[in-house]
Amino acid sequence: MGEKKKLVLVGNGMAGMRTVEHVLKLAPDAYEITVFGAEPHPNYNRIMLSSVLAGGSDMKEIVINDLDWYADNGIRLYTGDAVVKIDTMKKKVVSESGVEAGYDALIVATGSNPFMLPLPGANKEGVIGFRDIKDCHLMMEASKKYKKAAVIGGGLLGLEAARGLLHLGMDVSVIHIHSYLMERQLDEPAAKMLQRELEAQGMKFLMAKQTAAIRGGRRADGLEFADGSSLDADLIVMAVGIKPNVELANSAGLQVNRGIVVNDFLETSVPGVYAVGECAEHRGIAYGLVAPLYEQGSVLAKRLAGVETGGYTGSVTSTKLKVSGVDVFSAGYFMDAPGTRSMRIQDDLEGTYKKIVLQDDKLVGAVLFGDTSDGASLFAKIKSGESVAGKEKELLLGFPAGGGAAASPAARLAAMADDEIICGCNGVSKGTIVNAVKDGCGTVGEIKACTKASGSCGGCKPLVEGLLELYGDGTAGEPVKEGICGCTSLGRDEIVESIRAMSLKSVKEVMNVLEWREPEGCSKCRPALNYYLGMLWPAEYMDEKESRFANERYHANIQKDGTYSVVPRIYGGVTSPADLKRIAAVAEKYDVPMVKFTGGQRIDLLGVKKEDLPKIWAELDMPSGHAYGKALRTVKTCVGSTFCRFGTQDSIGMGIALEKAFERLNTPGKVKLAVSGCPRNCAEATIKDLGVVAIDGGWELYVGGNGGVKVRAADLLCTVKTEEEVMEWTAAYLQFYREQANWNERTAQWVERVGLETIKAVLENAEERQALAARIEETLSRTTDPWKEIINSEELRKNFEPLPSAEQVVG
């Protein structure tokens, strides 16, 4: 085989990376691939940002391709390093940090930017767009300090942002220049029904309002409107549209109108340079929805792989609103216009509305509210352009017009043609899903892994479940069971029991014996299996470092600029002048940019270079604080009776004893403890995974607390008299959690799932409690600080050889 060609992708988003995925499938050995992303993240699902904001997902859950995937596929990835120059003569790109990469083929997939209204005051603090994960985090942070939010824009994105802010506890007003919502996706009756539903959820609306200015000092504090009225607001989100990000292409001399002009094969005006996604303009249209962008990516991938393909001819689009409790769907040309005729049915009692638009006996558009189950079949007919003459009432009613009962969901699915699209986000047809089921996919997770159906917004999951029940082997009518990931249909309990019963002792052995669909596993199941094996066989199992996340392998938290954060263990928040001097000396020697006190009473060295990690740990000569691990993180303490006039017990001593007892303990999720010296609770013990509160003559133990995005007050587990009892109950509780919780499940979710009474019933049995405590003691007796291994092992130290500072290569 000849030398690989060089393929460079500018933009690590959904459209560009979908193209790369297709290229890898069609021609896995054709290209040496380099990807530049402006954001400090791997490729993630931008469609799910509203779910992140609303608390339904976190960053890990919306990542499409994790960092290990890039490494496994030999892709060189630069995150947080935007390309600033394309030299089409020398066929190379130059990044912000100065990295240069030559190319034979270049894909420009720079996406779009939020359109920010040029209003007076638009540059004030507290005014943001809604386009990426950083915007989500800004809104989450703002919701902790401020209470009144204004969202400018009553379209798809604006309503999703507003619903997320409502979930965060803010008072939310939506300002829209039109007289009804989502005018690009809905007709007026459906929009009015939508507004009533959202008002019932707590959202406020100012319709037909034109914003004239943003008022305030350094930070915005409200809006002023063209009619002279005003609105108080501490946070202002602009969601009025997007514009293709074409600055880079323009400076490189590519032809640009609204977007980067491309032909039917996504080629720009410069040979060897392609554009795909929201930045591209095809036949005068720049698309902002994901399905057309994936269609473009499929055509471009075939072109790059040398596979014969017809050109991209444009897309008919459909839209769903991703707001909890609201079902909205629209597709095609749904507004009344000359030459069209429309039919509609509305049920205000049930809260449903359906409209279809016909032209020349063809279905050209549809709007659904309240019940969107017919969306996929209607969209398929719109795209096919088939005649629906004589079937109009059947399409509108969902069952034959001559009478009879409405078809069941299963009957509707069975009647669908194989080429009808089920997953619009990923362009997956009914036939593709049915074939996957017949080929052995037995869960929604496995279907997602094989076909990507339900892998984006999740709106098609009920249809995927229905097809699985309809065409699966004996599963019709039964609940659809998903495994711990798409590699297996087995759940946590089945896996753990199989490991125990069959004495399986390695990740590979588990996957082989339990017949994993994907023989190498994935980033979800490998860390889980590694944990379960270590939990079950503490004396025999050798921890598999390659099955841990990168942070745990390097024993430091990677930051957005590619540097690392080092946190030494500081027991109970108590340190000494000697340790402080040692930390200061290391920070000076290695030019650590920032030294910060954390919320858990520790010291964080931020901005450490990867190659300096082993030397820094060796010179600190302090245990790791495991700020990166699914392990005991901190034990926060107040000064207690040692100094405080209100303290009833020695909280410092208790905290240090707990931290020294349970440091290095691997757990399903991260664990934080705290000890307060009196009921004033200065150490915030009642929002920790386990909190200890001193009372007169004893201690109260609280469990299942969480101080994160979803705050949960801990439950009182027990009251004990002695420090020895505190240690025994804590050991038993932590071991019971270790043995029963799902991988990546925090104690707050675990306690809610299994119930406090179940946990109490086990731990109140002295024999059970002591047996659990003995098992955790056995595990702890075999753990050492992993940094000792790295410092003393030349082979492990090779993992930390220096890299160019702007480059993040995973592996």
| Domain extent listing, the chain | 5-112+244-305, 127-240, 492-548, 632-784
86-90, 563-567, 634-638: the lowest-pLDDT one: 563-567
Query: How confident is residue 325, by pLDDT bands cut at 50, 70 and 90?
Result: low
DSSP character at residue 176: E
Q: Are strands 171-176 and 148-152 parallel, antiparallel or unpaired?
A: parallel
Q: For all residues of the chain together, what is the average pLDDT?
A: 86
Cβ(677)–Cβ(649) below 8 Å = yes
Q: Bridge-partner residues for 274, per DSSP? A: 107, 267
**Number of helices (H), then strands (E), in the chain:** 29, 38
pLDDT tens for each residue of 572-589? 888 889 989 998 998 899
Answer whether residue 80 shows pLDDT above 50: yes
Higher pLDDT among residues 52 and 661, named by residue? 661
pLDDT tens for each residue of 574-629? 888 998 999 899 889 999 888 888 777 888 888 888 788 888 888 888 888 888 78
73-87, 293-307, 567-581: the lowest-pLDDT one: 567-581
Query: How confident is residue 798, by pLDDT bands cut at 50, 70 and 90?
Result: low
Higher pLDDT among residues 310 and 476, named by residue? 310
Answer whether residue 748 shows pLDDT above 90: yes
548-557, 622-631, 682-691: the lowest-pLDDT one: 548-557
Residues 510 and 491: their CA atoms lie apart, in Å, by 13
Answer whether residue 334 shows pLDDT above 70: yes
- Extract the annotated binding site for siroheme: 682
Answer whether residue 283 shows pLDDT above 90: yes
Answer whether residue 382 shows pLDDT above 80: yes
**CATH 3.50.50.60 applies to domain 127-240:** yes
Distance of CA 737 to the CA centre of its chain: 25
The whole-number pLDDT of residue 56 equals 61
Residue 306 Ramachandran class (φ > 0 left, ψ -120 to 50 alpha, else beta): left
Query: How confident is residue 804, by pLDDT bands cut at 50, 70 and 90?
Result: very low
φ/ψ of residue 8, rounded to 5: -115, 130
Among 727, 574, 587, 702, smallest CA distance to 640 is for 574
The whole-number pLDDT of residue 790 equals 53
Q: Bridge-partner residues for 564, per DSSP? A: 558, 608
Under DSSP, is residue 319 helix (H, G, I), strand (E, B) or coil?
strand
Under DSSP, is residue 699 helix (H, G, I), strand (E, B) or coil?
strand
What number is the average pLDDT over the span 779-793?
Answer: 67
Q: Are strands 242-244 and 112-114 parallel, antiparallel or unpaired?
A: antiparallel
Q: Which two tokens stand for residue 11?
A: 């933009």
Answer whether residue 407 shows pLDDT above 50: yes
Higher pLDDT among residues 205 and 416, named by residue? 205
Helix (H) or strand (E) holding 367: strand 362-369
Among 604, 596, 526, 612, smallest CA distance to 562 is for 612
- Extract the annotated binding site: 638, 644, 678, 682
DSSP character at residue 115: P
**Token pair 């892709």 in the structure block, residue:** 75
Query: How confident is residue 806, by pLDDT bands cut at 50, 70 and 90?
Result: very low
Query: How confident is residue 318, by pLDDT bands cut at 50, 70 and 90?
Result: confident
pLDDT tens for each residue of 18-49? 999 999 999 999 999 999 999 998 998 888 78
Task: Out of 3.10.450.40, 3.30.300.20, 3.30.200.20, 3.30.413.10, select the CATH number for domain 632-784.
Answer: 3.30.413.10
Answer whether residue 171 shows pLDDT above 80: yes
Task: Annotate 618-627 with b (16+ C-beta within 10 A) or e (fewer).
Answer: ebbebbbbbb
Answer whether residue 201 shows pLDDT above 90: no
pLDDT tens for each residue of 660-683? 999 889 999 999 999 999 998 999
pLDDT tens for each residue of 486-531? 788 788 888 999 998 888 898 988 988 888 877 778 777 888 999 9
Under DSSP, is residue 800 helix (H, G, I), strand (E, B) or coil?
helix
Half-sphere exposure of 653 (CA within 13 A, CB side): 10
Answer whether residue 349 shows pLDDT above 70: yes
Answer whether residue 463 shows pLDDT above 90: no
Q: What percent of the chain has pLDDT over 90?
A: 50
The whole-number pLDDT of residue 447 equals 83
Look up the pTM and report it.
0.61
Topology alike, domains 5-112+244-305 and 127-240: yes
Query: What number does CATH give the domain 5-112+244-305?
Result: 3.50.50.60
Answer whether residue 456 shows pLDDT above 80: no
What number is the average pLDDT over the span 356-380?
Answer: 89
- Extract the annotated binding site for [4Fe-4S] cluster: 638, 644, 678, 682
Cβ(652)–Cβ(574) below 8 Å = yes
Higher pLDDT among residues 401 and 556, named by residue? 556
